[in-house]
Chains A and B, each alone.
Chain A
């Protein structure tokens, strides 16, 4: 089998270590959120830092095998999504000083990383590699864009759960532990704004690359069409609030829908269109 990791045992082990670290970190965040255990509170942040650091080292080593070029494969994309989610969450925790939503975001990141390391064993090769500024920006911006969509979706779910608990006088665990509705609204809207910016960068960098490729990449291609649709929906959602006057409760449904829609599209494309814009360099 031509799997890049099978020929490199330390890297194969590191893949599993990264996954395990995500699981352990998520577990600690969960234990602190649900049980408020002191040990979990003390260990969770160092564990998160260790996880992010190990993941960066792993991706560095992985790309080093191909001369530090980015490679396009579902496995790598999922791993990158996990990393960007974790980094974004670190940023949120650092700026808002609230560590109460960590479990929900990191659980999603852990899921993506676990799937990535599981699929690593199934994939015959690491996928085509690319170099160049515009393609690099295009790939990285798209990954950050998806992470922002995921975070907006996750925070929208948390917002609705808390909203319902308050409306129904169920002052349970979520009421006690989650940040207030206004903070959740701000986090969601920030994630949406960042998501839109990253998707715009993805499109812009993609257009530059398309011109540079002299037509090798066609514009009538499922991934590009999907990206444009997502970009329009996301951009429209930013203006829905001030123009139509939608409250965040309704916006939250829209963001959850977009998150599910984008995730399903990515999964479908990974199954039926596994190449990078029909390129196989």
Chain B
């Protein structure tokens, strides 16, 4: 009984290899169904995201090894020219469990603590369950992984703090203003970066977002998408600068669109009420001298990256706590797997003693009254329970290493003369 995982991810292979190996949902279903129906695996699951394609398999035969599965997936994707087995990692047994726990809790992700991976693992399990490729082992493994991820999320700060520039901009704004819903925000530029920043602001209850863009229709469609429906013509937005508490610039330009002199006048009109300018443009959109103005917080991408770096540092500092949670769950999972191995022996042991009891009672069935037989049966049950208590307790005791299991099982089987069990999954 083994669980093997093989796969490519951002640690083992460059993006072109990861792209070559990735599986769509349809391919995913087809691939794991093939594995099961061809008798190679009892259970199978594939996690396929932009950063990883990982295969989790409970093999049905000894020949199915990590190397075998690597070749199998390369062949399935017809990628022998580009992809080599060296691009893959492979794990076995508890190594597989640890890896899935690390993946689910986002400590194996490209961006430490990112929030999407757990959903992707859940989706992979859903697909496996849908095609009936997730049996007792993968189900338990996945549910333990979900529980690990939940514990990590609630008991550590691995997912706290912004790790993208647009989100860091929101984090900074919230450190200056207490309630973004009360603030007026101007977004200059309706490109991808600006849109992302506006959406993050919107998620934090900012509703008064006005958009301006060289192409007015683009500003209008973004305003429509955000639900604000507020746009300003690009030619006249500077007349209204003093009304805004937060200004986000994200336009492609070689010249500064906001200069020190005009912002000085803006601040005078505002009676020096604080303003944040988040310059998300590259090259920069805003004259850096503006930062010298009183109560002006001008932050460019480099400044926001400082926030991201600090947040990543803090997330890294949480790794020991995450690893401790994983370790704890790994031990419990390992012990559960080990109990699977002793279960047939416990059943055989109980069956054997019940059989002896029934045979012996049968001999007295017509020699004693029904009441006496019932009492004898009750007495025998109690004796059996006491006799079996210790051997069952010994078999069920937490087993830390799989090596100890055969000796325990063999001891009990020899002492009680139990028949050899059938090899089952």
A: which residues have CB within 8 A of B? 36, 162, 166-167, 169, 171-172, 175-176, 179-183, 186, 245, 247, 249
Which of these, A36, A166, A249, contacts B172 with CB under 8 Å?
A: A166
Residues on the B chain within 8 Å of A167, using CB: 291, 297
Q: Do A166 and B175 contact each other (CB < 8 Å), given the known contacts A171-B310, A172-B310, A245-B272?
A: yes
Q: Do A182 and B177 contact each other (CB < 8 Å), given the known contacts A171-B306, A171-B310, A172-B310?
A: yes
23 contacts between A and B (CB under 8 A): A162-B175, A166-B172, A166-B175, A169-B303, A171-B306, A172-B310, A175-B175, A176-B310, A180-B174, A180-B175, A180-B176, A180-B178, A181-B176, A181-B177, A182-B178, A182-B179, A183-B178, A186-B178, A245-B272, A247-B273, A247-B294, A249-B294, A249-B295
A181 to B274, CA, bound (A): 10
- B interface, how many residues as a size bin? 20 to 34
Q: Do A247 and B295 contact each other (CB < 8 Å), given the known contacts A169-B303, A182-B177?
A: yes
Contact A166 B176 (CB under 8 A): yes
Q: Is the interface of A mostly helix, strand, loop or mixed?
A: helix
Contact A171 B307 (CB under 8 A): yes
Residues on the B chain within 8 Å of A247, using CB: 272-274, 294-295
8 A Cβ contacts from B259-295 to A: 271-274, 291, 294-295
| Nearest A residue (CB) for B155 | A38
Excluding A172-B310, A249-B294, 20 further A-B contacts by CB distance (< 8 Å) are A36-B157, A167-B291, A167-B297, A169-B299, A169-B303, A171-B307, A175-B175, A176-B161, A180-B174, A180-B175, A180-B176, A180-B177, A181-B175, A181-B176, A182-B179, A245-B272, A247-B273, A247-B294, A247-B295, A249-B295
| Nearest B residue (CB) for A242 | B271
8 A Cβ contacts from B77-95 to A: none
Q: Do A245 and B274 contact each other (CB < 8 Å), given the known contacts A167-B297, A180-B176?
A: no
8 A Cβ contacts from B304-353 to A: 306-307, 310, 314
A171 to B304, CA, bound (A): 10
A186 to B182, CA, bound (A): 15
Residues on the A chain within 8 Å of B172, using CB: 166
Residues on the B chain within 8 Å of A181, using CB: 175-177, 274
A53 to B307, CA, bound (A): 41
A12 to B359, CA, bound (A): 83
Smallest beta-carbon distance B285→chain A, Å: 18
| Nearest A residue (CB) for B157 | A36
Q: Do A166 and B178 contact each other (CB < 8 Å), given the known contacts A171-B306, A171-B310, A172-B310?
A: no
Residues on the A chain within 8 Å of B314, using CB: 176
Q: Do A245 and B271 contact each other (CB < 8 Å), given the known contacts A166-B172, A167-B297, A180-B177?
A: yes
Smallest beta-carbon distance B339→chain A, Å: 32
Residues on the A chain within 8 Å of B175, using CB: 162, 166, 175, 180-181
Smallest beta-carbon distance B415→chain A, Å: 49
Residues on the B chain within 8 Å of A186, using CB: 178
Smallest beta-carbon distance A212→chain B, Å: 46
A180 to B295, CA, bound (A): 15
A249 to B176, CA, bound (A): 13
A197 to B271, CA, bound (A): 27
| Nearest B residue (CB) for A38 | B155
8 A Cβ contacts from B157-207 to A: 157, 161, 172, 174-179
A169 to B259, CA, bound (A): 21
Residues on the A chain within 8 Å of B178, using CB: 179-180, 182-183, 186
Residues on the A chain within 8 Å of B307, using CB: 171
Contact B297 A166 (CB under 8 A): yes
A240 to B299, CA, bound (A): 30
Smallest beta-carbon distance B309→chain A, Å: 9
Residues on the A chain within 8 Å of B271, using CB: 245
Residues on the A chain within 8 Å of B291, using CB: 167
Smallest beta-carbon distance B160→chain A, Å: 9
Residues on the B chain within 8 Å of A169, using CB: 299, 303, 306
Smallest beta-carbon distance B183→chain A, Å: 10
Smallest beta-carbon distance A199→chain B, Å: 28
Task: Tell me which of B174, B177, B178, B307 has the highest count of chain A C-beta atoms within 10 A of its own C-beta.
Answer: B178
| Nearest A residue (CB) for B298 | A167
A83 to B310, CA, bound (A): 38
Residues on the A chain within 8 Å of B161, using CB: 176
Residues on the A chain within 8 Å of B303, using CB: 169
| Nearest A residue (CB) for B172 | A166
Smallest beta-carbon distance B414→chain A, Å: 50
| Nearest B residue (CB) for A179 | B178
Smallest beta-carbon distance A105→chain B, Å: 19
Smallest beta-carbon distance B419→chain A, Å: 53
Residues on the A chain within 8 Å of B272, using CB: 245, 247
Residues on the A chain within 8 Å of B294, using CB: 247, 249
